[in-house]
Copies of this chain bind each other. A is one copy, B any other.
Amino acid sequence: MNPINVGIIGVSGYTGLELVKMLITHPRFNLVYCANTEGQTTVSELHPCLFGVCDMPVESVDFQKASECALIFLALPHKTAMQTAKELLAQGIKVVDLSADYRLSAENYEDFYCPHEDLDNLSHAVYSLPELHGNIAKDALLVANPGCHVTASLLALAPFLSYIDLTQPIFIDSKTGVSGAGKSPSASVHYVSVNDNINCYNIIKHRHAVEIEQHASALCEAEVKVTFVPSLVPMTRGMLANVYATLKSDCDVAAIMEEFYANKPFVRVRNAPPHTKMTSGTNFADVYAQAHGNALVSLCAIDNLMRGASSQAVVNANIMMGLDEELGIPKMAYVP
């Protein structure tokens, strides 16, 4: 079978690195193009762990060169992403966008980010969290890849949407490792600030709350409101979303979870609370639910950079190109 040429624009960051690691060993994708803003470097200069493994050049963005790719992954900041996607789509290149630019309705996007500059493509962009949206990405030209907090939250919440009393508050307490904040140095990611500490941030006002609400509402065709509380945990990777909600009536939450995710190769229904580390470096989402009277506790652990970004993006690309969704997707956790 012919290899499928793919590229990455925005290769400098953590999610760019994870994409490289998957794509250079992927059985069908052939990574032929890597770009970032400055160019004139190589993958291993940006990511010295890949010295001798992937020394391919990194160029500044050039849509001419990009045209040899059938599909491009965008690991760019929001706004830059839509400016780039528009050009690529115009050339007939398929796009998996890891930014927020095509995840929200125009209205929601503009409330939380900035004016949207590509409403045309937004109208046909497909938001795909594979276990929840099935093969919706199959014929898509543009896939909006879900965010990390949202992926973990929706996977914990979705099985129970029809069992929850939506008139009562739904709380999501989502704990994230530091890599979720990106590679740019700042006071809040200084080792000394993070080590031996835990703190919440952007309580309620987090941009991901609206993404959860929009897509949870779509799933159950009812208005879902969430109170979202993220916290920063001293660990490099990993995310644990705890969903707290009120059940409408008694139900066997473990059985509901088990049934909802039957035959989903990348969701593991656990019989004990999941450890984020068991998913580290993989696309697995480990879920667990327990009820206490009408109080629901539903948990989902993921790797924020993999299932929360890069490996989910490659799964989506697999689906878009008609491949098996499991192709080239890591399952060996970074344990110990």
Q: Scan residues 164-198 of chain A and give those whose CB is less than 8 A from a CB of chain B.
A: 168-169, 171, 173, 175, 177-179, 183, 185-187, 189-198
A196 near B25: Cβ-Cβ < 8 Å = no
Residue of B nearest to A200 (CB): B273
Task: Give the residues from 10 to 67 in chain A that come closer than 8 angstroms, CB to CB, to chain B.
Answer: 14, 17, 21, 25, 47-53
Chain-B contact segment, one of A123-131, A232-240, A313-321: A232-240
Task: Using CB atoms, name the residue of chain B closest to A20.
Answer: B332
Q: Known contacts A49-B277, A235-B234, A294-B169; is A21 also within 8 Å of B242 by CB? A: no
Interface hits, A277-320 → B, CB 8 Å: 277-281, 284, 290, 292-295, 297, 299, 301, 305
A191 to B191 Cα, complex, angstroms: 4
Q: Are A246 and B277 neighbours in the complex by a CB distance under 8 Å?
A: no
Contact B198 A49 (CB under 8 A): no
Known A-B contacts A203-B297, A297-B203, A336-B236; A179 and B192 likewise in contact (beta carbons under 8 Å): yes
Across the interface, name the chain B residue whose C-beta is closest to A243. Answer: B171
Interface residues on A, range: 35 or more
In the complex, A229 has a CB within 8 A of chain B:
yes
How far is the CB of A2 from the nearest CB of chain B, in Å?
22
Verify if A270 is at the interface (C-beta below 8 Å from B). yes
A201: Cβ under 8 A from any B Cβ: yes
With A197-B275, A203-B290, A334-B281 as given contacts, are A51 and B192 in contact (CB-CB < 8 Å)?
A: no
A25, B332: Cβ atoms closer than 8 Å: yes
Is A262 positioned at the interface, with any CB of B under 8 Å from its CB?
no
Is A199 part of the binding interface, using a Cβ–Cβ cutoff of 8 Å?
yes
Tell me the A residues contacting B by CB distance below 8 Å: 14, 17, 21, 25, 47-53, 168-169, 171, 173, 175, 177-179, 183, 185-187, 189-201, 203-204, 225, 227, 229, 231, 233-238, 240, 242, 244, 246, 265, 268, 270, 273-281, 284, 290, 292-295, 297, 299, 301, 305, 331-336
If A52-B265, A200-B273 are given as contacts, then 5 extra A-B residue pairs at C-beta distance below 8 Å, sorted by A number, are: A21-B332, A49-B278, A192-B336, A197-B235, A204-B297
Please list 11 pairs of residues, one from A and one from B, whose beta carbons are closer than 8 Å in the complex, sorted by A's number: A14-B192, A50-B333, A173-B244, A190-B190, A192-B336, A197-B238, A197-B276, A203-B273, A225-B293, A281-B334, A305-B336
